[in-house]
């Protein structure tokens, strides 16, 4: 009986210790960084040729972005809804 209780206690400690460490998302974050850098290079190349960067389409989606942010249709940046309401007239003329 004591041995079964000891094993159960060890299992509980192991589960608690495992839960303490968060799983790393570095691969996903690295992939998003690389995609963002590639998109930045595309923008730079289009600007140097004198093209319109809007023809590239939206920037790659980032998983860590909060869902309540509003994306600007002109620059594809994401803003807090309150700030977007104030900045939208300025961005529309940009």
- Domain range summary for the chain, segments of one domain joined by +: 25-61, 64-94
Q: How many CA atoms lie within 13 A of 38 on its CB side?
A: 8
> Bridge-partner residues for 78, per DSSP?
71
Indicate whether this model's pTM tops 0.75. Answer: no
Give the separation between CA 24 and CA 3, rounded to whole angstroms: 35
Q: Which of 23, 41, 31, 22 is nearest to 62 (CA)?
A: 31
Give the pLDDT score at 20.
63
pLDDT digits (tens, 9 = 90+) for 44-78: 999 999 988 888 888 887 776 667 788 877 777 78
Length of the chain: 94
């Amino acid at each position: 009986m004591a041995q079964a209780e000891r094993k159960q206690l060890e299992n509980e400690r192991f589960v608690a210790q495992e839960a303490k460490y968060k799983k790393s998302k570095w691969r996903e974050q690295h992939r998003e960084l690389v995609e963002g850098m590639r998109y930045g290079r595309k923008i730079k190349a289009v600007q140097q040729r004198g093209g319109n960067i809007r023809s590239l389409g939206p920037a790659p989606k980032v998983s860590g972005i909060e869902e309540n942010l509003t994306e600007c249709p002109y620059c594809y940046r994401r803003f807090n809804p309150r700030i977007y309401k104030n900045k939208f007239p300025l961005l529309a003329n940009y």
